Structure 1
Amino acid sequence: MKSPMSIRFAVLLSCTALAAALSTGCASDTPNRQADAAVPVSRTPLLTKARATVLGQTVVYPTGTPAEVSSATVTMQPGQETGWHRHDAPLYVQVLEGTVTVEYDGGVVKAYPKGSVFMEATGTYHNGRNLGNEPVLLLTVSIGAEGIENTVARP
């Protein structure tokens, strides 16, 4: 079992990667550094202290090899599916657009609308589908380690 510090570190890494991926910059035609310094930084928590996946599994950070954190955006057009797959390391997901519907082995089905953030199931095969009429856009952050595949297709 991982210590709370390991879990906090993994969540911190995922949030840092998320912030970097979503950063849009703050350009101005007439910069005023003194005024900018007086404005407090805005922070909106999206996922805090997650200790379990969407299926109630304990989030466990891989050990024994160097960490590898990867992020990606996934776009699914209406009617598209991810195909059955699993993740062997913790995966943070944020739904940026649309609604993704995920079916897990055992028949559990969950729908995640725009704005949802969650830790995806680990080691459980699942298939994501876009059942809507608009594209689905996901931000994923894999908190893996060297030698561990982020996504493994069902044989």
Structure 2
Amino acid sequence: MRRTLRTALAGVVTAAALVVGGTAHTTPAGPGVTGRVISQTTANGTDYILREVTIPPGQATGWHYHDGPLYGFVKQGTLSHYDSTCETDGVYRSGDTIQEPAGPDYVHIGRNLGDTPLVLVVLYVLPHGSPFSEDAPNPGCSFE
């Protein structure tokens, strides 16, 4: 498990990011969005969780943030990110890496605008016991 985690840390960079505010309701992940834990360990009060996340064509993660940084790798497909201004903050294709900072000031959404499933390998570095993500409201973007 340590070897898998070290390999992941070396090859993975942080996942999708967008900032959200506003008073709208929270936005859950779209239908068919799934996650599978590959490896997990805890050291010094920090959870290191390697997870594969699949987002079907036309679906999204929902607006959210994380309590710790993320490091992601696009295994398949294209990830489109949007911030609280409803503008894209990056497009990441197969083979690309991405980093995502922690906290409620970095609310974001990841979308699969392609016609094939988007598959991400994500390393979550979270305070022990934290959820993978915290829901956040749509900042008023018309695409959600």
Shorter chain as denominator, the TM-score bin is 0.5 to 0.7
In structure 2, C-alpha distance between the alignment counterparts of 1:18 and 1:132, rounded to whole Å: 31
Contact 1:69 1:145 in 2 (8 A): no
**For residue 94 of structure 2, what is the aligned residue in structure 1?**
114
**For residue 31 of structure 2, what is the aligned residue in structure 1?**
none
Would you identify which runs of 4 or more consecutive aligned residues in structure 1 move more than 2 Å? 18-21, 45-48, 147-150
Paired residues for 1:46-85 under 5 Å: 46=11, 66-85=45-64
Structure 2: which 5+ runs fail to align?
19-43, 138-144
Report the TM-score when normalising by structure 1: 0.58
Which segment drifts farther, 107-116 or 144-153? 144-153
1:17 maps to a residue whose letter is L
In structure 2, C-alpha distance between the alignment counterparts of 1:146 and 1:46, rounded to whole Å: 23
How far is the alpha carbon of 1:108 from its aligned partner? 3.9
Which of the numbers 128, 137, 153 marks the counterpart of 2:110? 128
Point out which structure has higher relative CO (alpha carbons under 8 A, 6+ apart). 2
2:7 maps to a residue whose letter is A
**For residue 7 of structure 2, what is the aligned residue in structure 1?**
19
Q: Give % identity.
A: 32
**For residue 123 of structure 2, what is the aligned residue in structure 1?**
141
1:116 maps to a residue whose letter is D
CA RMSD of aligned residues (A): 3.1
SS for the counterpart of 1:102 is strand
Contact 1:18 1:141 in 2 (8 A): no
Number of aligned residue pairs? 107
SS for the counterpart of 2:7 is helix
Structure 1: which 5+ runs fail to align?
1-12, 22-44, 56-64
**For residue 28 of structure 2, what is the aligned residue in structure 1?**
none
Q: Which has the larger radius of gyration?
A: 1
1:111 maps to a residue whose letter is V
Residues 49-103 of structure 1, C-alpha deviation per residue, up to 9 Å, x if partnerless?
Answer: x9xx978xxxxxxxxx611111111111110111101112011111000001011
Report the TM-score when normalising by structure 2: 0.62
Contact 1:86 1:151 in 2 (8 A): yes
